[in-house]
């Protein structure tokens, strides 16, 4: 049995899998967090992965507790069984923090395991006061910033251009962590790109494919490609609300209500973050109160972020290189602090 030990800021996770191909994919996914030992102060989150159809003895009986989109949930005490519409089965014991996934398709088993790890680790990090935010996190001269963009909005593309053309550090391209002291912590996973993305600047050996059930194929870029530029633990100074338009890159001051609306989506609700409703949602009162505690903690953090950071709106153009150059120029020259919301702070005479 192949075994992988991981350490996510003190949250230990152990993965066990007999299939070498699935194990190696997960090892690549989480290579930044690989640890030679598991912290002993808490029970580790553990997953055993089986590349086979679920045994009949594990299949649930009776009525489902929840039915959503493509799965049914069956709760019995602390044990949850999740039956997916493609016949995959996940069994998780919340008290023992131990789970098992059965699936006859290796690509689907990889996807389910990857998302399950992020879901359970993410909730534990929330309870510890480290909250994921759906954003590009960057560092410049010892200070951190966030660019909020929706899924598919170009966070990884912007990160790649910053990596190639600037000396700006990357904290995470998709889900950095914000601590209670408003420091931004690295959470590096493989960068994901559409199959049509131009990755000619990246060695082919650092690119692999990831098949997702609902979202198709992505090309993943290995953590080792950008490891030397990863930054962490920097104070958060700038919150940039990103959007797309057809013109040149443009920046303007944002208001606190605008920032709070964006943070409600990207931080409080965690839209775009792998939280996985099949593990999060529950009719159990203890679980419900846990989620309420997390929601209130995220809301309090969002308020502090909106009050203590420079707030801007960045309209990104279609030219990724120009977007990166524009952001670098603004960071180097500084952003005015006194401009009212909606007033332009800069437009690109973009470097080409």
* Domains and their CATH numbers in the chain: 2-128 (no CATH), 132-188+226-347 (3.40.50), 191-222 (no CATH)
Residue 343 pLDDT: 54
Q: What pLDDT is recorded for position 73? A: 96
pLDDT at position 34, please? 95
Q: Tell me, what's the pLDDT at 213?
A: 85
Confidence (pLDDT) at 352: 42
d(CA 243, CA 154): 10
Cα–Cα nearest to 270, from 45, 74, 119, 70: 119
> Residue 1 has what pLDDT?
85
- Residue 27 confidence (pLDDT): 97
Beta-bridge partners for 310: 238
What does the pLDDT read at residue 256?
96
Digit-by-digit pLDDT tens for the chain (352 residues) are 899 999 999 999 999 999 999 999 999 999 999 998 655 567 899 999 999 999 999 999 889 999 988 999 999 988 999 999 999 999 999 999 999 999 999 999 999 999 999 999 999 999 999 999 999 999 999 999 999 998 888 899 999 999 998 999 999 999 999 999 999 999 999 999 999 999 999 999 999 999 888 888 899 999 999 999 999 999 999 999 999 888 899 999 999 999 999 999 999 999 999 999 999 988 888 888 989 999 999 999 999 999 999 999 999 999 989 999 999 998 888 765 444 555 555 554 444 4
* pLDDT at residue 345, rounded to an integer: 59
pTM: 0.91
| Phi–psi pair at 164, nearest 5 degrees | -75, -35
Half-sphere exposure of 107 (CA within 13 A, CB side): 11
């Amino acid at each position: 049995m192949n075994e992988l030990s991981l350490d996510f800021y003190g949250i230990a996770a152990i993965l066990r899998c007999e299939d070498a191909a699935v194990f190696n994919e997960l090892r690549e996914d989480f290579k930044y967090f690989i640890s030679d030992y598991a912290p002993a102060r808490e029970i580790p989150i553990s997953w055993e992965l089986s590349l086979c159809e679920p045994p009949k003895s594990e299949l649930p009986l009776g009525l489902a507790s929840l039915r959503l989109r493509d799965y049914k949930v069956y709760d019995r005490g602390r044990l949850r069984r999740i039956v997916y519409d493609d016949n995959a089965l996940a069994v998780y014991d919340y008290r023992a923090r131990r789970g098992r996934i059965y699936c006859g398709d290796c690509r689907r088993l990889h996807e389910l395991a990857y998302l399950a790890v992020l879901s359970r680790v993410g909730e534990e990090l929330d309870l510890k006061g480290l909250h994921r935010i759906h954003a590009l996190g960057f560092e410049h001269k010892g200070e951190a910033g966030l660019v909020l963009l929706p899924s598919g909005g170009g966070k990884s593309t912007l990160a790649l251009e910053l990596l190639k053309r600037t000396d700006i550090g990357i904290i995470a391209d998709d889900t950095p962590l914000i601590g209670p002291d408003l420091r931004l912590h690295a959470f590096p996973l493989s960068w994901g790109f559409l199959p049509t993305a131009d990755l000619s600047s990246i060695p082919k050996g650092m690119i692999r494919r990831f098949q997702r059930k609902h979202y198709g194929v992505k090309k993943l870029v290995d953590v080792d490609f950008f490891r030397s530029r990863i930054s962490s633990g920097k104070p958060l100074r700038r919150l940039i609300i990103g959007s797309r338009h057809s013109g040149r890159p443009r920046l303007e001051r944002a208001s606190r209500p605008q920032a709070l609306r964006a943070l409600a989506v990207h931080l409080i609700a965690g839209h775009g973050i792998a939280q996985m409703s099949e593990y999060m949602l529950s009719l159990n009162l203890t679980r419900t109160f846990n989620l309420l505690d997390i929601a209130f903690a995220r809301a309090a953090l969002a308020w502090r972020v909106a009050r203590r950071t420079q707030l801007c709106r960045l309209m990104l153009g279609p030219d990724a290189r120009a977007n990166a150059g524009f952001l670098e120029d603004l960071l180097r020259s500084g952003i005015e602090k006194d401009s009212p919301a909606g007033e332009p702070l800069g437009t690109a005479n973009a470097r080409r």
